[in-house]
Amino acid sequence: MATDTQTVPVVTTADEVQKETLPESLAGLAYVLVIGLFVMTFLAQNFGIPSGSMKDTLLVGDHVVGDRATLAPRTTWMPLDHQRAVRRGDVIIFLKPAGRDPQPDLILVKRAIGLPGDRIHLEHGILFRNGERVDEPYISVPADDGQPGHAYQTARDDFPRDLEGIAAEAAAQNAASWSVEIKDYVHNGEIVVPPGAVFAMGDNRLESLDSRFWGFVPQANLLGRPLFVYWSFITPDDQEFKTGASETVKWLVHEVTHFVSDTRWKRTFHLIR
């Protein structure tokens, strides 16, 4: 016996529609903010590159995502499997050692060259570590090309042979104490990295103010390492010194109006090694 079946439409009145309440909306927003704050505090952070000390690894105007977890001190309350000690050759983000600059909390990006116990010296701009030449195809070396600052300089390129020249540069960098301290770490023409410290230099050795002129980086000052470039914008080398309100506004307008034409699109998601 066959029976006819009919589909009865379900009618939902406006009163029956569940709406999100204000407390629920605020709770959802709070979850997002907490997760975002956690990520930006412990896992990742964005940094801008204002100077050319790491050319061509990093360019002025690069904006990078920094990994804040890998090089962080190991903790018991938040164990992260990929935490590890800093390695030779790592590009590192760190706070400049206290007393080495009039700007408090100045954040720098350099390459970790020497770890505790390493013996470091340069010969005409070429790095030697523990008696062996280090292959660094990405660095700049002295050249007689007529470019300002490219000519050979003893204090910079034969480090640490010229202690007087290093002392003069250290004084210029508000790190006069380094000109005294460095003597305690130089043995047989090489500088020996002490425990708990890193010797860091920029890849653009000819234009990098680094551990040669203001000393070791305490490992406690490490903030992380840059992972990749998420945005790169053509920026003048002297833009970091233009800090006035009018100049800042002018530059922001320039970024907006030239976003498409001056963005280095090929550097988007460029991995940093």
Judge whether residue 33 has pLDDT over 60: no
Q: Can you read off the two tokens belonging to residue 213?
A: 């002129």
Residue 98: inside a domain: yes
Looking at residues 8-28, what average pLDDT do you find?
57
Domain count, the chain: 1
Residue 58: inside a domain: yes
Residue 266: inside a domain: yes
- Identify the band that residue 149 occupies on the pLDDT scale cut at 50, 70 and 90: confident
More confident residue, 76 or 55: 55
Residue 172: inside a domain: yes
CATH number for the domain that contains residue 106 = 2.10.109.10
Residue 14: inside a domain: no
CA distance 204 to 93: 16
CA distance 216 to 92: 13
Looking at residues 157-166, what average pLDDT do you find?
93
Share of the chain above pLDDT 70, in %: 78
Looking at residues 164-178, what average pLDDT do you find?
87
Residue 1: inside a domain: no
Indicate if the alpha-carbon torsion angle 181, 186, 191, 196 is positive or negative.
negative
What is the distance, to the nearest Å, from the Cα of residue 201 to the centroid of all Cα atoms in its chain? 12
Residue 114: inside a domain: yes
Residue 240: inside a domain: yes
- Identify the band that residue 62 occupies on the pLDDT scale cut at 50, 70 and 90: very high
Residues of the domain holding 261? 37-271
**Could you report the per-residue pLDDT of 254-265, keeping only the tens digit for each?**
999 999 999 999
CA distance 271 to 273: 6
- Identify the band that residue 8 occupies on the pLDDT scale cut at 50, 70 and 90: low
Q: Can you read off the two tokens belonging to residue 192?
A: 């020996």
Q: What is the pLDDT of residue 59?
A: 94
Q: What is the pLDDT of residue 127?
A: 96
10 Å Cβ neighbour count for 80? 13
